[in-house]
Structure 1
Amino acid sequence: MTDRWTETGRSTVFQVMGRTLDKVTYRLPDGTSRDKLLRNEPSAAAVLALTPDNKVIIARQYRPGPDAILLELPGGFIEPGEDPATAAGRELLEETGYKGDLELAGSCWDDAGSTARRWAFVARNCVRVADQDLDEMEFVDVELFTLEEFRQVVRDGLMTDVELAYRGLDHLGLL
């Protein structure tokens, strides 16, 4: 039976950097009650950014979850009250120093245990206009990939933001 669950209680288990891990109690459609952990976190935006010669701008950085240096689309959290497109352009500029013509490619939920919506953008004609302006915990190397190299990285799962990369590639008609 597919019905909405009814929230009957909530408590914060942990809180850090604008994110909380909440224990939420639900009454299920069959009348039973169960606890679930829910990540209450900000939405984010990421950008599939292309230079005028169609090179893809990629961020390479260490990620503690997988304990690996990974490739990523430039992006980050959307600040409270900030428009997703504004956040995408800001994050692209801060992480890479590049700026371009932004287009919305779509959005998706982060996962079933999160409140975050993830926004995918494409930026065409990106040119470097500034130095990186990184946060104290960001150490980002910027790399350029050909479209074919990038598509292979996405196919091989060698990056985060794979679903957003696919949204961008689909928007560009490159799937």
Structure 2
Amino acid sequence: MISIERDSPERDDVHRLLSEHLADMFATSPPESVHALDHSALSAPSITFWTAREQGALLGCGALKLLGSTPGAAGKGEIKSMRTTTSARGRGVASLMLRHILADARSRNLERVYLETGTEDYFAPARRLYARHGFTECAPFAGYVLDPHSVFMALRL
């Protein structure tokens, strides 16, 4: 059975997954268009970080960053660092994680959740996942700027 729990991005297996995630982001997007966070940035107090595990084995991760400190962003959050391990892809781990993050956002009475992802074909599965869960494209948010390599999406809760 897959369980999703709060976890530390500093754990060895998580650190490796996040390093792989960052490497893929830099391999598919120009450096100025990479907005993924490393394990230390994901430890910030404004970020809640979760992992999905099965019998202790890491399957994926995801995070929710509260945007309350950004002007006009009270009651809003941003999904960060959604990643599934290669061996767990196709098992619904990303959907489970996304539903978990959205349930947490609703329990905090957030009004809206945002995300940024890439425009390249590599990111097509992520864009489809978010669209299936009701996200729609939106303008840049929370200090992001228009970028031909970024897609901005939002979901009203």
TM-score, normalisation: structure 2: 0.30
Larger Rg: 1
TM score, norm. by length of structure 1: 0.28
Greater RCO structure (CA 8 Å; 6+ sep): 1
Which structure's residues are more often strand, by fraction?
A: 1
